Amino acid sequence: MKQSSSLKLLFYGNLAIILLLIGYKVYLNFFQPDFQAIHAEQVDRIESKLSGGDGFSFAVVGNINNSVGVFEEQLVPKLNASDLDFMVSAGNAVSGGGEDKYRAIQGTLGNLQIPYLLTFGENEYENFGSFRFYEHFGPHFYSVYTDQARLIFLDSTGKTPWQWQIRWLKDLLNEQDERPTFLFTGHPLLHPTEDAPLEQTDDYLQPLAFRNALLALASEHDIQAVFSANLSLYSNQQFDDTRYITTGGAGGLVLNDDTSFYHYVRVDVADDGTVSYSLERIPARPNAILSTLESLWFLIYSLFYVGYVNFLLLVAVFALLATKLYTAVFIEKDYYPNYDLDPTPWLNRPLRIAMFTNNYLPFIGGVPISIERLRRGLKAVQDSVMIIAPRYRDQPKNEDNVLRVPSLLAMGEKREFRLANIFLKRIRTRVKIFQPDVIHLHHPFWLGSLGLFIGRWLKVPVIYTYHTRLEHYAHFVPLPGSLFRNLISHELIRRFANKCDAVIVPTYSTEEYLRMIGVKSTTFVQPTGIEYQRFQEVSDDEIETLRASLKLTDETVFVSVSRLSNEKNIDFMIDAIDALRKRTDRPFRFLMIGDGHQHERLQNRIDELDLGNHFTLVGSVPPEDMATWYHLGDAFLFASKSETQGMVILEAMAAGLPVVAVRSSGIDDVVRQDFNGFKTPEKQDQWCDRVQQLLEDDSLRQRLASNALSFAADYSVEKFAGDVREIYAFTLARAASERKT
């Protein structure tokens, strides 16, 4: 209850913030006028103040940097209470050249009761600020003549060519004039006697020719002082008869020591033209916490002065936060399953299921085989299944309820990966005519995305089976591998799964992965079924005939089944088998069943290692013959880390083969250590040790084989189809319940 009350307060507080933001923005736009050519007005005020010839005083500040805590709250009141006639910024009045910073400094300068002028400095120039300075204040370099002085402002940023400014300055100085002349340039000409904090070469006037030309003109024409900013310190030096004063403590970053501190410079010009300079120190900010709070306030303060896009973005952030709080506070959530759901009405009648997959038979792979087994299992209980899959050249003819989609693009050496033409209208038409009760998706993109769209269009539940660890397929994607593995693949799965009504995963470790990446949809752990009975029907004659055709004698036979692709880690097994033959005298053969785009490269590697008598790439085998090939082996070896279940491992166990596999998410729940096999880290020595154990210890191999056979009996196709059917029924029951509410 206490937490709910706190969240309610946050919610209403956010609503209040949104209303205040909108109200303040309205105030700024309707009651705060725009500003331009500010310097023209300020020059008029200065000329009016200095008419009469009674002497005058002014302040020079540097590095205001939009400071609220120092300049606005401490320095401005001090200037207003003094007898100063005007103020000059020697550069970096703003913390950046953005419109928000210019608007904010104008609001701050509006608190000054004396006129002011700004030097075009480094901060005024950055972030395309030069045109904003020109529009709001005036030219980047200019001069102001009064009855008692000449004030000359230069552009030290490089925006204006320095050669042109030197020519212009010479013309001004060649006019004989007894009035004191003060020059303002954002970048210092001389290095101070003490090191400046965070000093860099670019902090000084560049190029060197510009600096030397100004030094020469200052000496030649008796310029009283050259003021600059851009360094976080105070420096007062004399070169010939000219003072060079650097002031950088009006609000920017300082160290609060004897060199770098908050200050401004007071300049007094007497009736007779005598000039004196004095340093006015400002107390340091109380502590770092207040300084941080000031920076945060200025960030919020300046955001009000930007365009509508950023303002609306700010309001949208608070609105989103308010929405989240509303959801957390006022919408009741029940995280437990609805135990009142009754799936019986759907279990007692035939269902119609439309399945979308990016690959299917005759393409050989775990996903197509899993789909085909599920189709047969559902068909055996009188359900109707429609499969939407890519078209293949050697596909079966007269398929029952399979909609083949022509490809836009085929990839891979054997064109095994196909992008079907999901834009064909007839796909949607055929599925609509089929009238599915459930749409079952087997991939999180392309045809899977089309299936999700059609499911929402037809308003039927959508279920997704997570078959594949996409991060291990980065080599197929034309993107940086680390970007796809570490970010895109997980985000793609998360977003897609959360759009579905339910997700089927083959193992508990896979379910844990989905939860970790943020999948919130209802999940069902359902291992893929195998044709267990088919493996028990293989005769000794079939096995002997196959052994004879392969010229096998009394050697131990290791079998593996995998597509020959990078993610299947075949190179690891080649290296391990090469090491194993050097560690044992027991004869053995390794049969690698499967094909893929890496076939030629892997064969070349086997030849280079002279492994032909131990390692054989068998190629693809028809699915109906696979049971016999499994029975040919004495143990099953596997190294892939891209599986979500490893269906071939269960098939091997159904043939009575113990397993040695590299530990991964799809293996961990199926291989029981020292019961039906071994699982090891991806380390060649450890994997090889376990294989050698099975090779040389006949009693161990027989014990694990017996356990593997009994373990696989729980994964029949019939049980698999029945369990999936229950998932369909529960999902349909939940959808019906939600429609009623």
User: What is the edge-to-edge ordering of all strands in the sheet holding 402-405?
Assistant: 402-405, 384-390, 352-356, 438-441, 462-465, 502-505, 522-525
Distance from the Cα of residue 693 to its chain's centroid: 46
CATH of 349-525, one of 3.30.70.260, 3.40.50.2000, 3.40.1160.10, 3.40.50.2300: 3.40.50.2000
| Whole-number pLDDT of residue 489 | 79
pLDDT at 307: 47
Element (DSSP H or E) covering residue 703 = helix 698-712
Give the Å distances, CA to CA, from 611 to 432, 576, 601.
55, 11, 14
Q: Do 247 and 61 contact (CB within 8 A), yes or no?
A: yes
DSSP string across 182-208: EEEESS-SS--SSPPTT--GGGS-SSH
Containing H/E element for 264? Answer: strand 263-269
SS3 692: helix
Exposure string over 232-262, b if 16+ CB within 10 A, otherwise e: bbbbebeeeebbbbbbbbbbbebeeeebbbb
Bridge-based pairing state of the strands 384-390 and 417-420: unpaired
State the Cα–Cα distance between residues 202 and 187, nearest whole angstrom.
9
pLDDT, mean of each 10-residue run, the chain (741 residues): 58 72 63 81 92 88 88 93 96 87 87 96 92 94 91 96 95 87 96 85 92 94 94 93 94 83 95 92 67 54 49 64 68 66 92 95 85 92 96 87 90 68 95 97 93 96 86 51 63 92 89 89 88 91 94 94 87 95 95 92 95 94 92 94 78 95 82 94 94 96 95 88 94 89 66
Q: At what angle do helices 570-581 and 684-696 cross, to 10 degrees?
A: 60
List, in order, residues 6 or more apart from 519 with CB less than 8 Å away. 493, 494, 497, 498, 503
Using CA atoms, how far apart are residues 680 and 359, in angstroms rounded to an integer?
31
Q: How far apart are CA 403 and CA 387, in angstroms?
A: 6
pLDDT score for 331: 62
Quickly name the fold that domain 34-285 has.
Answer: Purple Acid Phosphatase; chain A, domain 2 (3.60.21)
Domain ranges in the chain with CATH number 3.60.21.10? 34-285
Element at 682 (helix H, strand E): none
- pTM value is 0.52
**Number of residues that this document lists for the chain:** 741
CA-based nearest residue to 214, from 167, 270, 253: 167
Query: DSSP states of 722-733 as a string?
Result: HHHHHHHHHHHH
Q: Answer for the pair 480, 539: CB distance below 8 angstroms, yes or no.
A: no
Q: Give the integer Cα–Cα distance in Å for 83 and 58.
A: 9
Contact 589, 606 (CB under 8 A): no
Write b or e for each residue in 101-123: b if 16 or more Cβ atoms lie within 10 A of its Cβ, otherwise e: bbbbbbbbbeebebbbbbbbbbb
Residues 450-476: b if buried by 16+ CB within 10 A, e if exposed: bbbebbeebebbbbbbbbbbbbbbbee
- 534-715 is a CATH 3.40.50.150 domain: no
What CA–CA distance (Å, rounded) separates 694 from 331? 58
Q: How far is it, in rounded angstroms, from Cα 141 to Cα 129?
A: 15
Residue 305 confidence (pLDDT) = 46
Token readout for 358 is 């990016």
Amino acid at 198: L
Which residues belong to CATH 3.40.50.2000 in the chain?
Answer: 349-525, 534-715
